[in-house]
Structure 1
Amino acid sequence: MSIRRKDTLVFEKPPVIAAWAAVGGKREGEGPLAAGFDLLVEDSSFAAENCSGWESAESMLQTKCAELCLRKAGISAREVTLAFAGDLQAQCTASNYAMRWLGVPFAGLYGACSTMAEALCLSAAFAGAGYSERTLALTSSHFCAAERQFRTPLTYGGKRTTTAQWTATAAGACLLRPAGAAGVPVLSVTFGRVQDYGVHDINNMGAAMMPAAASTLLAYFHAFDATPQDFDAILTGDLGKVGSELLRTQMYREGYDLSNHWDCGCLLYDTDRQEVQAGGSGPGCSAAVLCTRVLPRLQRGEWKRVLFLSTGALMSQTTFLQGESIPGIAHAVELGTPKGEKDG
């Protein structure tokens, strides 16, 4: 069971992330986390799989990631009791079509780039309450599909600003089990509140999402009288270089030193060497960093306690064209080291 403290659920008997997997594309394979991926594909169109377009290619990306995660967990799709999944496509179609293969109870999510943390929060809550024995948290993004939907088709050749971010072609999957199973424990989850500080620039998602990250962090710190130094690492995704600097400045004004903060949008790529402008974004960005960098370090005992936040910009093509500002959301997942692992 869990204890509610303001916006946070604290698990008396923490559920665990028993298995995970990450799949990426060519650009992700050229980045600093390439060695941690379970699968990297050179052809992000999945032409060999007879995909009809970028959208169906993203469904294939997500399907392969789920397959790898379940294979590492040593279970079949039939043994999954519930799946929480989402993506950036309209009506979450990449996830919906991937679920045609999985064939399990499915709850679709839309949290934009916050979807991985949202899926983990819900999966942990269901696992912790005994509602689901084997829960799959899954998300993805695809650069080409996202550009066509939110900005301009690739053939248009539009100029990208320095504050823009590169949507990751990546997917991440985690299988959650109730307490007692082997894996990385989920100590608590914090559900964020929508924040809107009037940012209208669709090419500056970091500035739009930063207030949500600050809000969720402050809510957690105030609820537990905690500080950033209580953690080995605090990770956000995906504020990029611009939003990360804004977050550190804002938290310093609030009296908190975020010297142990990293952003998934700056970790997935080498922002100095790769042409990704301010860094990575998309639901697949924080999901991939979680599965290639964060969970392995916790499993090995190199980190003992981590706060993982995914941030999302909740606009749509319609609201953007209507001149609406961009609201943001951030959910947080507190992760620990498996019992018996060495200290970091």
Structure 2
Amino acid sequence: MKRLGRQTWEYDHQPRIIGRATVVGPDEGKGPLSSDFDYIYDNLEIGEKTWEKAERKLFEQASQLALVNANLTKEELHYFVGGDLMNQIISSSFSARQLGAPYLGVFGACSTSMETLALAAMIVDSGAGDYVLAGTVSHNCTVEKQFRYPTEYGSQKPPYAQYTVTGSGCGVISRTGEGPVIAKATVGRIMDLGIKDPFNMGAAMAPAAADTIISHFRDTGLEPGYYDLIVTGDLASVGLPITKELLHKEGIPMEQTVFNDCGLMIYDREKQPQVVAGGSGCGCSATVTYGHILNRMQKGDLKRVLVVATGALLSPLSYQQGESIPCIAHAVAIEQGG
């Protein structure tokens, strides 16, 4: 790999996404991107006794489908890089148990989708593995129970709250084969402006998104117009405008490209008022990227995309102790390949 500046690297051997899959829940299936998902469940239980087991099932199914779409068996997989929002990333670890591949578990909160993709591409680019699976998952009810209030509690949400996506997105990375190329990755820094409200994720994560975007263009020497689409992970209706304002103050010409957010793309907020400010969760940017965005690239609608997945690195423990919310964003540049 070639290092560009302080935070960015460029992949020399053009690792590709040769297989991918997305599995989502009922609310995501009723949204505007429903045709881009491989499988849609019509209920949140997904045939399991607990929300946590349902989340794991989403991940296991998405990983299996990604391997099928890559024409691989799990025995041919060299590494699995995964993470999620559950305590001790147990959805990923239990899914790794089912896959049986050497496993690297990572936690980047909602930025995990691009963190796992960047690391999987690094393994492939270095020659340490020929086939690496990257992926993540989230479930609305597990996240609400862990970080805020259980769904059964029926608490009223403030208008700036976001709705955790129930879904899993996975991709198989390889040096050979056909598929979009993973061109560059920019690793984010921790940004914390003192927000303590666990409902206000968009405002908390916006500075991290802006910082990573600024770092990406500083390190690469590119301008936003190089990309057909720049999309943040899950800033939704509150965080995206803040990010735009921060970038404008830094003189980053975002008007050169289409700038959107996965949390705004996955739901129709007028028809789905329960999502409040929009989507969030590990599954938000994962399902939109591995589903909708890569489908558009396959059709030729997009040639170059920068996905900037954001994450709020709080825990119930840190929140209860009155700590503010440290946030991060990781960006991956995906370009149309042969």
Structure 2 equivalent of residue 302 of structure 1: 301
Structure 2 equivalent of residue 285 of structure 1: 284
Structure 1 residues 72-92: Cα deviation after superposition (integer angstroms, max 9, x where no partner): 111111111000101110000
Gaps of 5+ in 2: none
91, 96, 116: which one pairs with 2:93?
96
2:26 and 2:43 in contact (8 A); partners too? yes
> Structure 1 residues 298-307 or 139-148, which shifts more?
298-307
Q: Structure 1: how far apart are the matches of 2:49 and 2:267? A: 28
Tell me, what secondary structure is at the counterpart of 1:244?
helix
Structure 2 equivalent of residue 342 of structure 1: none
Letter in 1 for 2:16: V
Structure 1 residues 155-193: Cα deviation after superposition (integer angstroms, max 9, x where no partner): 111001110000000000000002x42111011111111
Q: Structure 1: how far apart are the matches of 2:287 and 2:305? A: 16
Q: Structure 2: how far apart are the matches of 1:250 and 1:3? A: 26
189, 209, 220: which one pairs with 1:224?
220
**Per-residue deviation, 1:296:** 1.4
Aligned residues: 335
1:248 and 1:257 in contact (8 A); partners too? no
2:214 and 2:252 in contact (8 A); partners too? no
Task: Verify: 1:9 aligned to 2:6, yes or no.
Answer: no
2:269 and 2:278 in contact (8 A); partners too? yes
Structure 1 equivalent of residue 246 of structure 2: 250
Gaps of 5+ in 1: 340-344
263, 267, 271: which one pairs with 2:261?
263
Structure 2 equivalent of residue 314 of structure 1: 313
Q: Structure 1: how far apart are the matches of 2:239 and 2:23? A: 25
Task: Verify: 1:147 aligned to 2:144, yes or no.
Answer: yes
Letter in 2 for 1:70: L
- Alpha-carbon distance change, 103 to 65 in structure 1, aligned in 2, over 3 angstroms: same
Task: Verify: 1:235 aligned to 2:235, yes or no.
Answer: no
Q: Structure 2: how far apart are the matches of 1:90 and 1:146? A: 10
**Per-residue deviation, 1:299:** 2.1
Structure 1 equivalent of residue 70 of structure 2: 73
Task: Give identity over the alignment, percent.
Answer: 39
**Per-residue deviation, 1:223:** 1.5
Structure 1 equivalent of residue 270 of structure 2: 272
Structure 1 residues 287-308: Cα deviation after superposition (integer angstroms, max 9, x where no partner): 0000121111222221111111
Structure 1 residues 299-328: Cα deviation after superposition (integer angstroms, max 9, x where no partner): 222111111110000000010011111010
**Per-residue deviation, 1:236:** 0.4
2:4 and 2:220 in contact (8 A); partners too? no
Q: Structure 2: how far apart are the matches of 1:3 and 1:314? A: 26
Task: Verify: 1:52 aligned to 2:52, yes or no.
Answer: no
RMSD (CA atoms): 1.0
Q: Structure 1: how far apart are the matches of 2:46 and 2:12? A: 44
Q: Structure 2: how far apart are the matches of 1:37 and 1:79? A: 25
TM-score normalised over the length of structure 1: 0.95
Q: Structure 2: how far apart are the matches of 1:191 and 1:147? A: 28
Q: Structure 2: how far apart are the matches of 1:293 and 1:2? A: 29
Letter in 2 for 1:24: V
Structure 1 residues 77-133: Cα deviation after superposition (integer angstroms, max 9, x where no partner): 111100010111000011111122111100111100000000001001111111111
Letter in 2 for 1:286: S
Structure 2 equivalent of residue 116 of structure 1: 113
Tell me, what secondary structure is at the counterpart of 1:32?
coil
**Equivalences for residues 148-227 of structure 1 within 5 A:** 148-178=145-175, 180-227=176-223
Q: Structure 2: how far apart are the matches of 1:250 and 1:273? A: 30
